[in-house]
Amino acid sequence: MTTVAISPRVVTKEIAAQLLSLSVSSFDRLLAKGSVPKPRQLSPNRVGWLVSDLDAWAEKRPVSDLLPPSNTGAPKPRKAGPNQAPSLAAA
C-alpha cells in the first residue's frame, strides 16, 4: 500500500498564525494593519489563508541580527498546588 502525504493549500487563522510563529492576537494586529496576507473567500461563510501566500510573506521578512533572549526556553518555577508542600527553595 502506498501512503501519500498531502500538504494543505489553505489553512485557518489559527494555523496561519502558527505557521508564522505568531500568536493569534499578533496575527490579528498585523492583519488589521495590512501587514500579513489577506484571507481568501472559500465559501459564503468561510475564509482561509493560502500557505503559498504565507510562505512568500515569510520569505520577504528582513533578516535579523537579534538573538532570542537568554531566558528563552527556561523552565518556569512551579507553584505549589493545594495538596503539595511549599518548596524549601522558595523560602
Domain count, the chain: 1
Render 27-38 in DSSP notation, one character per residue.
HHHHHHHT-SPP
Residue 86, in any domain of the structure? no
- Check residue 75 and give its pLDDT: 66
- Check residue 74 and give its pLDDT: 61
Residue 24, in any domain of the structure? yes
Residue 69, in any domain of the structure? no
Query: If residue 41 lies in a helix (H) or strand (E), which one and from where to where?
Result: strand 40-43
pTM, to two decimals: 0.67
Give the model confidence (pLDDT) of 30-72 as tens digits: 999 999 999 999 999 999 999 999 999 999 999 988 877 776 6
Which residues 6+ apart lie within 8 Å of 40 measured at CB? 10, 47, 48, 49, 50
Residue 79, in any domain of the structure? no
Residue 33, in any domain of the structure? yes
- More confident of the two residues 48 and 90: 48
Across the chain, what does the average pLDDT equal?
A: 86
Distances (CA, A) of 14 to 19, 23, 63, 80: 9, 8, 25, 32
Quote the domain boundaries for residue 42: 7-61
Residue 40, in any domain of the structure? yes
Look up residue 32 and give its three cell numbers.
488589521
